[in-house]
Structure 1
């Protein structure tokens, strides 16, 4: 196999679940495949990580233009690995990770320019690329059905979650949002409609007389997502029983998980579901929507509810918060489930596919 090149455009992007996958796999490939190259445009946001990977900054443009027009010129005939849903559509000798089929399945969750481009690009990559990786059997089925990607091109490679165990803690987040010593449920995600935080807020307002808080962390890109009007994404907003804490650091997030009574994931469409697995890895018991890939990924480690039924969600939350034995049981099951999802295993499966595809 010619020297593998990794599309490291993720170094120019804020780290969400998609970029987390790219970071953790890339770190391991750097050691497992010593001659691998990491190529990025300018505008790197994560200088320490770029240095760790030995990333090369090439080209004069940025974003999709760099990826489509400039990146192919720097491959020198080597195969390309892209880990973040996007890749040059002109290339055939490449492997691409497409995490889900959300631009097809939940178009209302995305801005019109974003979903138009991604629908076109995903279909093109699915037809032209040597192989496509995705996170779950659910996503593989969705990509076959909605994007017409041939089944023999698709390989399911689940994500890891053990990065959260290597993260430090920052308990200042508890004081900043008046959470120290308080019971609360944590939710993490964007204000995109398919994350279903509008329903969670309706439930939270209905349960305002309960002796616990709802804490919502995360942010949204207006260029990508169609933001749900009912979800106030302002991190400064607080009221008596809801805390919107906005974007948090990894250390702050770990602290929030570890001090929560539980984690709730209301999404009605999910290609994998990394935050509930992070919670499980830290011993935070989980409630989840029974939707998308979530039952496949979380298995018996979560208490499930119907994300389209506010009353069912409220009943699950009330049962969860009133039953310490249930929470302990879910905590134990969650730890077992999370232990099966390591980034070492993910990287090994990625490397096996690279070798099987390119020799």
Structure 2
């Protein structure tokens, strides 16, 4: 190793969520912060730990990529990866800091056993596994409950994505005396409002020219898509002549017969789009009559910020962090009240919601969320840990 390289501080990062074409919340958070962080700090020797061979697009320039086995996609393999593979990799690269954007860290006991003095950083996005116990397999939930609690207490630097999540961490794990830094999310790209002509083109592409309500997110129980679908179906039953459609954008990650049946009941009025990113996603938001987000719990709720940046009015759940992130720019509804969601759709279509005001507030609010702010916040904590 050249002398100039050996003098650089070494920072290792858990990069196993950097999956090309499959980026979800943690993956987007990692990619959006890590790329500018690495570019802005060439004085660091960066090492990224993957659990399988990464696509070239998921490896930023000027880093050393390590494929660390086994591929960790099951609680038992997570345990092996965290407690056996990662400590050995940290020892090999002599890392001063290890940042885990998914909040999972090797135990301090294991690090000590390997003679490691690496400082650890954990970004814990939410405590869904603690509060929404039906939203993931039992083994996965049990693993997260055990390891996240330990990581939160043992991390040398603890981070999360919203004030709501920070308060939840402090209350759930008795961390009132521990500093928690906020490294919030932001839109995937520079989302902007579109002109009427561009909106019309988007509707032709995505909904056969029909006006539509939009949902964006993974299809999991926590996202509570079924409440929105049932509310929309009720509304359509009362307005059978309406051309309004419901456009569902995202990946099905959970088999749910009730949701499948509810979508089928909507017939051609409910359109399944699949995943979308970049310009296509911007167009979907910008052309929607409203973005509807009935989620039961979020650490942040990136789609809210994306919708606001694209000039899309929002009907959102009033639970967890949604009021914080929307900042007064959304019409808030109880996520479990189907009748309330049906009424909200009715108010929107009948012009009873202050749509122009919501859009204006949303555009201003969206400007509060910038990836660079989170890059700076994360680097500040890294500097603290690197200081003698």
TM-score calculated relative to the size of structure 2: 0.82
What corresponds to 1:58 in structure 2? 67
Cα deviation code 1:198-220 (max 9, x no counterpart): 11111011011243111111124
Matched, 1:6 2:6: no
Matched, 1:202 2:211: no
Gaps of 5+ in 1: none
What corresponds to 1:230 in structure 2? 258
What corresponds to 2:3 in structure 1? none
Which has more radius of gyration?
A: 2
What corresponds to 1:137 in structure 2? 163
Relative distance call for 1:24 and 1:159 in structure 2 (3 A) is same
Rounded to whole Å, the distance in 2 between the matches of 1:146 and 1:68 is 24
What corresponds to 1:218 in structure 2? 250
- Residue 130 of structure 1 contacts residue 153 of structure 1 at CA under 8 Å; is this kept in 2? no
What corresponds to 1:33 in structure 2? 41
What corresponds to 1:252 in structure 2? 280
Q: How many residues align?
A: 352
What corresponds to 2:178 in structure 1? 152
- Residue 14 of structure 2 contacts residue 50 of structure 2 at CA under 8 Å; is this kept in 1? no
Rounded to whole Å, the distance in 2 between the matches of 1:291 and 1:68 is 35
Rounded to whole Å, the distance in 1 between the matches of 2:103 and 2:95 is 22
What corresponds to 1:119 in structure 2? 145
Relative distance call for 1:189 and 1:26 in structure 2 (3 A) is same
Cα deviation code 1:312-341 (max 9, x no counterpart): 111122212222872221111111000110
Rounded to whole Å, the distance in 2 between the matches of 1:15 and 1:180 is 27
TM-score calculated relative to the size of structure 1: 0.88
1:164-313 to 2 correspondences below 5 Å: 164-165=190-191, 177=206, 179-208=207-236, 209=239, 210-222=242-254, 227-232=255-260, 239-313=267-341
Relative distance call for 1:51 and 1:307 in structure 2 (3 A) is closer
What corresponds to 2:28 in structure 1? 20
Residue 172 of structure 1 deviates from its aligned partner by 9.4
- Residue 133 of structure 1 contacts residue 155 of structure 1 at CA under 8 Å; is this kept in 2? yes
What corresponds to 1:69 in structure 2? 84
- SS of the counterpart of 2:13? strand
Relative distance call for 1:44 and 1:258 in structure 2 (3 A) is farther
Relative distance call for 1:59 and 1:268 in structure 2 (3 A) is closer
What corresponds to 2:75 in structure 1? none
What corresponds to 1:163 in structure 2? 189
Q: Compute the RMSD of aligned alpha carbons.
A: 2.8
Relative distance call for 1:283 and 1:55 in structure 2 (3 A) is farther
Relative distance call for 1:44 and 1:303 in structure 2 (3 A) is farther
- SS of the counterpart of 1:303? strand
Cα deviation code 1:88-135 (max 9, x no counterpart): 234472111000011001011111111011111101101211121011
Matched, 1:80 2:95: no
Rounded to whole Å, the distance in 1 between the matches of 2:181 and 2:154 is 15
Q: Please point out which of 45, 48, 65 is paired with 2:57.
A: 48
Relative distance call for 1:307 and 1:71 in structure 2 (3 A) is same
Relative distance call for 1:173 and 1:67 in structure 2 (3 A) is farther
